[in-house]
């Protein structure tokens, strides 16, 4: 007889929404499947050789230290590297004692949820927002409020209204090449947001895993650079190097560091000591720009190909974003379509995407799809988008008559 666990499961666990993306990833693993669903970097550009060399060097030179337990805050030279790199890129003033190395930036989100959210606390997210953040924060049972994105980033008027109505104190957002929309905040939005945050006493969780993958336009300083005392800036090596290394970081004000370290200790004691040293070796012995240039120029071509395919194969009236970096295009089908119905059919044609509803905490997203362009060659993108267009056409052939 099976044990009945249901009565033992916490409300916190029950509140975490299912990840449609992870479920699709399992189906889409078959080799003949074309998946635009996952948020996967392209493995063709993982720096295998250089990481292998870095690994060997660490094992040969510092193997015993690398295999030992270490401090919870993370490997100091790696924290110093992060500060040096971003202080010079964005004129920020980060110090290593404000950085905590995390198990991917995903862990930073969970830690910040644990730090800030009590049950039913209002929490503001962008609309749509990153599903992984919705999952991480859901475990702390907040009262979510989503604020629309314009083409220049979060809608500041709507944000101010929501702050006033809810008394929320925490905002979570992704100013660069947002997941899922690909939208970036303009420089003006960043500056005005910082003023608004300061005025209303709001903490901003600035999630920034894609900032190294800008393939068009001018790099913009993070919101953190305008208001370091009220912004927690989260970064990641997942897109810059590879996600399997599961290493990210956050930069938080002095006062929060001891509290976050207690949370980190309670959760996993420390991030992987060996891999932190390997990452540091890799970054020191190689020119990160050289590696990033290859990734960025490939992703730009893939993004352009996907947009060309949308114009060729998708119905009249489809609207899409045109990101300057990152890995996703957000597409809105004309009235009358339902992307949850489309996915059922497209899976039969062996092509996957993520229906928009996954990125909303309440209603919304039924005509949207998130399309990942980083993890497929241009040829595969054309083929997959053609199949997807044909699937959509089955629902409303009249919408395909081009004028
Ligand atoms: C917006 C956003 N934040 C955080 C993460 C998690 O990244 P990491 O691999 O650093 O945990 C992702 C991953 O796709 C993401 O898109």
Q: Where are the chain's structural domains?
A: 10-47+290-397, 49-285
For ligand 1, the distance from its centroid to the CA atom of residue 244, given in whole angstroms, is 12
Q: DSSP string of 250-269?
A: EE--GGGHHHHHHHHHHHHS
Task: Name the residue of 46, 100, 104, 205 whose CB sits within 8 Å of the most ligand 1 atoms, as the mutation to test its pocket.
Answer: 104
- For the cut 80, the answer to whether the pLDDT of residue 22 exceeds it is no
Pick the CATH number of 49-285 from 3.40.1170.60, 3.50.50.60, 3.40.640.10, 3.40.50.300: 3.40.640.10
For ligand 1, the distance from its centroid to the CA atom of residue 269, given in whole angstroms, is 21
H helices present in 67-186, as ranges: 76-90, 104-116, 131-138, 156-166
User: Model confidence over 298-312: pLDDT tens digits?
Assistant: 999 999 999 999 999
- Whether residue 39 has its Cβ less than 6 Å from ligand 1: yes
Q: Quick check: helix, strand or coil at residue 60?
A: helix
User: Model confidence over 348-399: pLDDT tens digits?
Assistant: 999 999 999 999 999 999 999 999 999 999 999 999 999 999 999 888 767 7
pTM, two decimal places: 0.96
Average pLDDT taken over every residue of the chain: 95
The H or E element spanning position 170 is strand 170-173
Q: Whose CA is nearest to atom 8 of ligand 1?
A: 104
What are the backbone angles phi and psi of residue 143, rounded to the nearest 5°? -105, 100
- Of the chain, the percentage scoring pLDDT greater than 70 comes to 98
- Whether residue 102 has its Cβ less than 6 Å from ligand 1: no
- For the cut 90, the answer to whether the pLDDT of residue 26 exceeds it is no
- Whether residue 174 has its Cβ less than 6 Å from ligand 1: yes
- Whether residue 175 has its Cβ less than 6 Å from ligand 1: no
For ligand 1, the distance from its centroid to the CA atom of residue 278, given in whole angstroms, is 21
> 10-47+290-397 maps to which CATH number?
3.90.1150.10
User: Model confidence over 146-194: pLDDT tens digits?
Assistant: 999 999 999 999 999 999 999 999 999 999 999 999 999 999 999 999 9
Q: What span, in angstroms and rounded, lies between the C-alpha atoms of 111 and 226?
A: 23
Q: Whose CA is nearest to atom 16 of ligand 1?
A: 179
Q: Which atom of ligand 1 is nearest to the CA of 106?
A: 11
The residues near 304 (Cβ < 8 Å, ≥ 6 apart) are none
- Whether residue 248 has its Cβ less than 6 Å from ligand 1: yes
Q: Whose CA is nearest to atom 13 of ligand 1?
A: 39
Strand pairing report for 153-154 and 170-173: unpaired
For ligand 1, the distance from its centroid to the CA atom of residue 185, given in whole angstroms, is 18
- Whether residue 130 has its Cβ less than 6 Å from ligand 1: yes
- Whether residue 222 has its Cβ less than 6 Å from ligand 1: no
Number of neighbouring beta carbons within 10 Å of residue 265? 11
Task: Name the residue of 205, 238, 250 whose CB sits within 8 Å of the most ligand 1 atoms, as the mutation to test its pocket.
Answer: 238
Confidence label for 2 from pLDDT (cuts 50, 70 and 90): confident
Q: Whose CA is nearest to atom 14 of ligand 1?
A: 39
Q: What span, in angstroms and rounded, lies between the C-alpha atoms of 32 and 21?
A: 18
pLDDT score at 27: 75
Number of neighbouring beta carbons within 10 Å of residue 279? 24
Beta carbons of 130 and 370 less than 8 angstroms apart: no
Beta carbons of 145 and 364 less than 8 angstroms apart: no
- For the cut 60, the answer to whether the pLDDT of residue 58 exceeds it is yes
- For the cut 80, the answer to whether the pLDDT of residue 264 exceeds it is yes
For ligand 1, the distance from its centroid to the CA atom of residue 91, given in whole angstroms, is 24
């Amino acid at each position: 007889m099976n044990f009945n666990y249901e009565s033992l499961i916490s409300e916190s666990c029950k509140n975490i929404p299912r990840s449609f993306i992870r479920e699709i990833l399992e189906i889409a693993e078959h080799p003949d499947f074309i998946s635009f669903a996952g948020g996967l970097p392209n493995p063709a550009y993982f720096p295998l050789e250089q990481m292998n060399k870095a690994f060997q060097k660490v094992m040969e030179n510092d193997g015993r230290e690398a295999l030992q337990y270490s401090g919870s805050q993370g490997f100091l030279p790696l924290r110093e590297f992060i500060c040096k790199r971003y202080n010079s890129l964005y004129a920020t003033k980060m110090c290593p004692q404000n950085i905590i190395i995390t198990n991917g930036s995903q862990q930073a989100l969970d830690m910040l949820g644990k730090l800030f959210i009590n049950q039913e606390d209002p929490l503001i997210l962008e609309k749509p927002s990153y599903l992984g953040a919705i999952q991480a924060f859901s475990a702390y049972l907040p009262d979510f409020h989503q604020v629309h994105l314009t083409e220049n980033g979060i809608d500041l008027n709507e944000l101010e209204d929501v702050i006033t109505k809810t008394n929320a104190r925490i905002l979570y957002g992704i100013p660069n090449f947002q997941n899922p929309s690909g939208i970036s905040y303009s420089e003006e939005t960043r500056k005005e947001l910082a003023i608004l945050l300061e005025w209303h006493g709001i903490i901003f969780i600035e999630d920034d895993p894609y900032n190294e993958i800008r393939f068009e336009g001018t790099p913009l300083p993070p919101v953190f650079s305008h208001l370091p005392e009220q912004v927690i800036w989260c970064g990641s090596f997942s897109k810059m190097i590879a996600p399997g290394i599961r290493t990210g970081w956050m930069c938080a004000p002095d006062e929060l560091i001891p509290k976050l370290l207690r949370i980190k200790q309670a959760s996993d004691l420390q991030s992987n000591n060996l891999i932190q040293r390997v990452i540091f070796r890799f970054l020191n012995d190689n020119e990160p720009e050289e590696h990033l240039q290859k990734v960025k120029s490939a992703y730009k071509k893939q993004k352009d190909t996907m947009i060309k395919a949308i114009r060729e194969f998708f119905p009249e009236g489809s609207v899409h974003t045109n990101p300057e970096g990152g890995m996703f295009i957000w597409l809105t089908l004309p009235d009358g379509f339902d992307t949850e119905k489309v996915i059922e059919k497209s899976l039969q044609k062996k092509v996957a995407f993520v229906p928009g509803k996954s990125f909303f905490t309440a209603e919304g997203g039924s005509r949207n799809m998130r399309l990942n362009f980083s993890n497929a060659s241009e040829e595969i993108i054309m083929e997959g988008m053609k199949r997807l267009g044909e699937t959509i056409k089955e629902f409303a052939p009249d919408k395909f008559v081009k004028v």
